[in-house]
Each structure stands twice: as structure tokens, then as C-alpha cells.
Chain A
């Protein structure tokens, strides 16, 4: 990547207009006030929305900005959860150290996935990430001595300071705000622009002299790092991990949240996560057939609103205005 050496170094906040900053501040302040009006159970749900919002956002980095939809991010997420629970419950490490190790392990797994996946695109990318995710799932299920097999593992992962529902929510909110800002910076950086170029025309970027596989590799690994952060937070939220945390359904839910929020909108991920988790809770109150409803939701969104809920609303609004 060649850049004019005399150009002023873009500041960390480049592109952050006053209006956007104000909106972001209002949203974060409003979100931090939520525990004051919600019940403990609802605060737990809000925490879950934030965690899965981060996962969906990490998928969006690849899907929305590099044009590659991953069905393996649930597995990367789950690896972090497994490592964090294992490190605190079995190896007796302090929570902060296990958290770091969990994110590191997820990033390493993502790097291995990336090495294999960057040469493919389109449906083949989807199939390969799906298959790689299945390997992780199979290993977690069968490697009973370490992972506890089907029964999973339990452990008190949360640091003492964050034991309360509210304290933990605020910690996750702060974490979500930081990683959201980091991801937003990432996709707006010159590197992020290159990814967008690859999405739009791989051959053109290659003939311009960009190393396409290397860019995709880094993009995938960075995306996996953020999925790992979400997974490590989930370990602290749940204090429990089992093969269903790394299963295909996890990846699928993440992708569905990302799509529902709108591909390429980044922050739409939180809207999508809120919509899917709210739906899950409403449905679960009436029936045990959540999986069926999830399947139908997927089909309906694919047919009627592939641009996501936010995109659909935007389209409807702009049509009204005209």
C-alpha cells in the first residue's frame, strides 16, 4: 500500500463527525442507564445482546467489507469460551489471564482457518468455513478428558469485582463500546478500504499490485480476534461451556443476527442481535420449538428482507418520502 509520505497522518478519530460522535455518546449513555429501569433478568438479556452483537459485528467485517460470509465464527467464538472456562476452572488461572489466553487461542484458530480459507470465495468459502467449524465441534465433543465431552464444563469465571448483574453489564457495555470503535476504525482504515476493493473486484485489486490473500488473511484473523473477545465475554456471562457453544447453530445465529441487522452496516449487528434474542425469548415463553422458529425466520429474511431489518426500514422510509 503506497501512501503519500507528505500527507498528514490521519488522526485516530478521522471521519468521526460531530454528529456521529454525538449519536454514539447518546446511545452509550442510554444503554448504560438501562439497568436502572430493567429487571435483573432483562439486564442479563441486554448483556447477551451486547456479547452476540460483538460476534455478529466480527462476522460483518468479513461479510460486509470483504464479501465473504463465514459459517465458522461460532466455532472461533466457542474456542475462546472453552479456553477461558478451562483455564479458570481446571488450570486455576486468574480471570484476566484466562481471558487473554482465550482471545489469543481464538485468534490462533482464526489464523489457521484463514490460511485455508483465503484461497476460496463465494459458496466454497462458506462450505470450507462450515466444515472447519464442524471439526472444532467434533473435537470439543469427542476429546472428553479436556473438554468434558457432551456434559461440558462449569466454572466460576467472573472476576469478583463483576459478580453483580449490573456491574457485569456495565463492564460488557464498556468492552462493547471499545471493540465497536476499534472495528469501525478498522473498516474505515486504508486497510479496510482495500478489503472493500477486494469485495468489489478481486482481479482488479490483484492487478493493482495488492496481495489479495495476505489482506484476506489479516482481515479474517482480525475478525476472529473480535469473535474471540465475544466468546471470552460469553464465558464470563454463562460460567459454563458445552459443545452447543461451538456448534453450527451458533455460527448460524451469528450470521442471522448480522444479516438481520444489515450486511455492511457494522452497528446494525446490535439491532440484529437484539431482534433475534428478543424473538428467542418471546417464542420460548410459548413453545419449545425455538429451532423451528429460527429456521422459518431465516427463510423469511432471505426471501423478504435480505438487506436486513435496518435496510428494509430505510428502504420503506425512503419510498414513503418519495
Chain B
């Protein structure tokens, strides 16, 4: 694998990390498998695209995408999921219905064409990395991935809120019994995780482009990441993203027709022998 392909794998892994970390936060703390996460990613990308082209600002596009997806997340959590609390299966199937709805709604609003979020002037063009010419924007995505990882790590390990979230992952009832309003922590986590999907949509929309089935693809990759890494583990998501990102690039280079097997083969085998993933813990 050449350096160029390695960087492609790493930048894809960085994008996957941003999207899948939101997914696993929600899965880990709230026990909700949000199958609408891919649709949130796609919506975030489209909204970011619209805001960025209207205002000409990539940063505003990012803020708009995150705010709008957090708002959709709020409606999803407070408007729909509250009716099926505590029933895992009903929650999963409900979010699947929401995913179908949002996907079709995106088709109505933005049509079936593919869009690419405009990259700001500063990040256009390429640069030399160890003698290989590489697009600056993809390096920016890699940097963003590392930044989000660091920020999440600090949030989870160095703040009170992070401590509450970690405690909630382990035993939500005990946290509530010690006088903490865990419902508010739940809601914050859901909005935050959704916003990460929106941010991922904008970031991915600028180099993978946005089209009607992009949500299903990113969702399947996110599922693979979380299944490999284990529920609710930040390090697990990072390792899972790296594995999936690199395997996917390798698969596309070596056997383009069967690229799916390259990721899902190992994932299925891993799940069969370690049902909770590499870093998952039984509760």
C-alpha cells in the first residue's frame, strides 16, 4: 500500500471516527441503537452544503449543520423515542422508520443529484507529505478527527459532565439514585452525538460528496466500527475506525468487487467470538 493510499485510509478513518463516536456515545449511555444516525449524517451534509453555499462560509456551514442536526435529534429523542423508553427492540425499529422517512425527505428537498460541499480557499490545493503530493483538505479532516478525539477524551475524563456520562454508561440507576438528573445528561448526550453526525456530514460532504444512498453506506461503516470497537468505548471507536478505514482502502485497492467482504468478514467473525467487541464490557 503506497503512502497515498495509507493517507486515504487514515483520513477516511478520521471521518468515520467523528460519525461513529456520536453513534457509540448514544449507544453506550442511552442503550439506543440509533439507525437514523446515517440519515442525520446525510441531512447534516445537505444542510451544511446549503448554508455554506448561501453564506460562502465553511465555518458557518459547520455550525449550521451541527445546530440543525442537534435540533432534529431533540425532536427524535423527546418527540418519538420517549414513548418507547426501556424497550431496546422498539427503539431500534423506530429509529429505522425515522431513517427511511428522513432519507426520502432529503430526496424531496435536495433531489437525487450529488453535491459536494465547497472547500474554503485556505484548504484547497495540495501539499507535499513525505514526498507525496496530497490534498490539504483531507489532511484537515485527519486533523479534525484527532481534534475531536482529544476533545472527547478531555470531556469524558476531565470534566464533571464526562464523569457523569461514564458513570451512566456503567450504571445509570445508581447515578440517578445519587441525586443526579440523569435524564438531562441523557438528553445532552443525544444532542451532542447527533451534532457529531451533522459535523461528519459536512466534513464528508466535501470529499465523498452527498447522494441519496450515502446515509446507508456511512451507517453500515459506523455499525462496523461500533461492533468492532465495542459499545460506549472511545478508544474502541478510534481503533475500530482505524481498522475499518484502512481495511476499506485496502479492499478497494485489491478486490474492488468484493470490498464489502474485506470489512464485514472480519467484523462478523469478531462478533461471533467477542460478541461485545474489542473494548466492550458486559453490563
Contact = CB atoms under 8 A, between A and B. Distances in A.
Contacts of A259: 93
A155 interface: no
Interface stretch (B102-110, B148-156, B172-180, B197-205): B102-110
Contacts of B271: 116, 120, 124, 128
B88 interface: yes
B98 A295 contact: yes
B260 to A, nearest CB: 3
A289 interface: yes
B268 A291 contact: no
Contact of B93 (A122, A255, A296): A255
Contacts of A309: none
A132 interface: yes
Contacts, number: 114
B259 A298 contact: no
A119 B97 contact: no
Interface stretch (A102-110, A136-144, A171-179, A214-222): A136-144
Contact of B92 (A116, A123, A131, A299): A123
A259 B94 CA distance: 12
Among A119, A139, A292, the one with the most B-chain Cβ atoms within 10 Å of its Cβ is A292
A153 interface: no
Contacts of B80: 299, 303
Contact of B260 (A142, A289, A297): A142
A295 B272 contact: no
A134 interface: yes
A120 B277 CA distance: 12
A296 B100 CA distance: 8
A75 B151 CA distance: 40
B104 A291 contact: yes
Nearest to A146: B257
Given A123-B89, A134-B220, A142-B259, A297 B104 contact: no
A175 to B, nearest CB: 29
Contacts of B90: 302, 306
Interface string A90-111: 0000000000000000000000
A132 B105 CA distance: 27
Interface in B58-109: 80, 83-84, 87-90, 92-94, 96-105, 108
B89 A248 contact: no
B220 A131 contact: yes
B93 A143 contact: no
Contact of A297 (B97, B258, B259, B267): B97
A291 B101 CA distance: 7
B101 A143 contact: no
A130 interface: yes
A131 B223 contact: yes
Given A128-B271, A142-B259, A302-B84, A295 B101 contact: yes
Interface residues of B, number: 43
Contact of B97 (A120, A138, A142, A302): A302
Nearest to B256: A142
B33 A298 contact: no
Contacts of A135: 260-261, 264, 268
B227 interface: yes
A252 interface: yes
B97 A298 contact: yes
B94 A299 contact: yes
B275 interface: yes
Contact of B224 (A69, A131, A142, A302): A131
B255 to A, nearest CB: 10
Contacts of B99: 295
Nearest to A137: B260
Contacts of B94: 298-299, 302-303
Contacts of B257: 142-144
Nearest to A141: B260
B216 interface: yes
B260 A139 contact: yes
A248 B216 contact: yes
Given A116-B272, A299-B98, A126 B259 contact: no
Contacts of B259: 138, 142
Contacts of A126: 33, 89, 92
A127 interface: yes
Contact of A291 (B89, B103, B276): B103
Interface of A: 69, 115-116, 119-120, 122-124, 126-128, 130-132, 134-135, 138-139, 142-144, 248-249, 252, 255, 259, 289, 291-292, 294-299, 302-303, 306
24 contacts: A119-B272, A119-B275, A120-B271, A122-B89, A123-B88, A123-B92, A126-B92, A127-B223, A131-B224, A131-B268, A132-B268, A134-B260, A138-B264, A142-B260, A248-B216, A292-B105, A292-B108, A295-B98, A296-B101, A298-B96, A298-B97, A299-B94, A299-B101, A302-B84
Interface of B: 31, 33, 80, 83-84, 87-90, 92-94, 96-105, 108, 216, 220, 223-224, 227, 256-261, 264, 267-269, 271-273, 275-276
Given A130-B223, A302-B93, 7 more contacts: A116-B272, A124-B276, A126-B92, A131-B267, A135-B260, A135-B268, A142-B260
